[in-house]
């Protein structure tokens, strides 16, 4: 929530209005909830492929590798990639990024391929199971001169579990929300959409699938310019796409508040998690703003 003082042609923020600036918070992500999470757990949102949702397509940046199908994931942002999500048009698979790493893809039960976890279940050293055959999320096979669609374990957005060695040299557990896209009746058309990556910043402690921290939206500055123009800079901990935010305004707070969406506001992102909202104020004696996520 932001308070803006507009006085004639020389609008400015008073000390009082600055002291009343508040951050707006909300829960975000797949099956967001906190129920049952251990007190010592530190669920952290990764910015590895942010902003989300991020659709990965063969040959489109940040794809790398000989066939431009490798999408490296640095879960904890320490500069070393931890996982490699390989998105080809005929197969999607995941593995550790470097052969010498001990990072693992983990299933909730024994299976030859990669299968999703259920929201509310706990992923740790005792519950995770390594795929017994191939680390494939979806697959097709070559027949009659083309790749024919066979199966997709992530046809809807699901949680894919993993463990990795973080910058502290210890094992951490996490998961990503991912969906393998496929058009019914088509072949050789796989892409993958990642809608969040989360890990426990506490080493050797499990993570509850879907137990996400609330996304925290923090207003960092506000400027009132000529013609009652208003520029609000803010950040969001989940690095969501700019399109998911809206700017709301009200002439008053408390019982007299009347929050309405500012349809004229333009919200853009200059970097993952960094945003700017630009609008025109009413020119009234006071106007309050808040970012809705």
Concatenating the DSSP letter of every residue in the chain gives -EEE---TT-----HHHHHT---EEE--STT---TT--TT--EEEE-TT-SBSEEE-TTSTT-BTTTT-EEEE-TT-SSS--EEEEE-SSEEEEEESSTT---EEEBSS--SS--PBPTT-EESTTT-B--SS--EEEEEEEETTEEEEEEETTSS-EEEEEEEE-TTSSEEEEEEEEEEE--TT--S--EEEEEEEEEESSTT--EETT-PPPEEEEEEEEEE-GGGEEEEEEEETT-B-GGG-EEEEESS-GGG---EE-TT-EEEEEETTEEEEEEE---SS-EEEEEE-
Q: How far apart are CA 234 and CA 4, in angstroms?
A: 15
Q: How far is CA 284 from CA 7, 46, 183, 214, 224, in A?
A: 7, 41, 52, 33, 13
Longest dimension (CA), the chain: 74
- 79: Cβ–Cβ under 8 A, 6 or more apart, which residues? none
The pLDDT of residue 286: 78
The pLDDT of residue 225: 85
Concatenating the DSSP letter of every residue in 91-141 gives EEEEEESSTT---EEEBSS--SS--PBPTT-EESTTT-B--SS--EEEEEE
Task: List the pLDDT tens digit at each of the 293 positions of the chain.
Answer: 333 333 222 233 333 333 233 332 222 222 222 222 233 447 888 989 988 899 999 999 999 999 999 999 999 999 999 999 999 999 999 999 999 999 999 999 999 999 999 999 999 999 999 999 999 999 999 888 888 999 999 999 999 999 999 999 999 999 999 999 999 989 999 999 999 999 998 999 999 998 555 677 888 988 888 888 889 999 887 777 888 899 988 888 888 888 899 989 999 999 888 999 999 887 777 788 888 87
Is residue 53 within 8 A of residue 28, CB to CB? The reply is no
The pLDDT of residue 20: 31
**What's the token pair of residue 151?**
């199966």
Q: How far apart are CA 139 and CA 186, in angstroms?
A: 13
The pLDDT of residue 88: 97
Q: How far apart are CA 89 and CA 63, in angstroms?
A: 13
Concatenating the DSSP letter of every residue in 276-290 gives EEEEE---SS-EEEE
The pLDDT of residue 213: 59
The pLDDT of residue 211: 59
The pLDDT of residue 24: 29
The pLDDT of residue 250: 86
The pLDDT of residue 162: 98
């Amino acid at each position: 929530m932001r308070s803006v003082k507009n006085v004639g042609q020389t609008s400015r923020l008073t000390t009082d209005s600055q002291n009343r600036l508040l951050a707006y918070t909300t829960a975000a992500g797949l099956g967001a909830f906190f129920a049952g999470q251990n007190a010592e757990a530190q669920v952290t949102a990764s910015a590895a492929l942010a902003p989300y949702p991020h659709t990965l397509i063969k040959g489109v940046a940040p794809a790398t590798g000989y066939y431009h199908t490798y999408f490296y994931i640095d879960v904890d942002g320490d500069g070393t990639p931890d996982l490699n999500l390989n998105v080809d048009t005929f197969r999607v698979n995941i593995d550790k990024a470097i052969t010498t790493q001990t990072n693992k893809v983990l299933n909730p039960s024994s299976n030859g391929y990669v299968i999703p976890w259920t929201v509310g279940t706990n992923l740790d050293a005792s519950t995770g199971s390594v795929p017994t055959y191939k680390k494939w999320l979806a697959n097709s096979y070559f027949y009659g001169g083309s790749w024919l669609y066979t199966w997709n374990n992530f046809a809807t957005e699901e949680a894919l579990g993993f463990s990795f060695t973080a910058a502290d040299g210890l094992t951490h557990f996490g998961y990503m929300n991912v969906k393998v896209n496929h058009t019914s009746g088509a072949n050789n058309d796989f892409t993958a959409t990642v809608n969040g990556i989360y890990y426990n910043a506490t080493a050797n402690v499990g993570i509850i699938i879907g137990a996400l921290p609330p996304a925290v939206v923090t207003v960092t500055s506000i400027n009132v310019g000529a013609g009652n123009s208003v520029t609000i800079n803010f950040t969001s901990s989940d690095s969501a796409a700019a399109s998911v935010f809206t700017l709301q305004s009200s002439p008053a707070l408390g019982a007299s508040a009347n929050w309405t969406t500012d349809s004229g506001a333009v919200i853009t992102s200059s970097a993952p998690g960094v945003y700017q909202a630009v609008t025109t104020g009413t020119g009234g004696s006071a106007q309050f703003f808040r970012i809705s996520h």
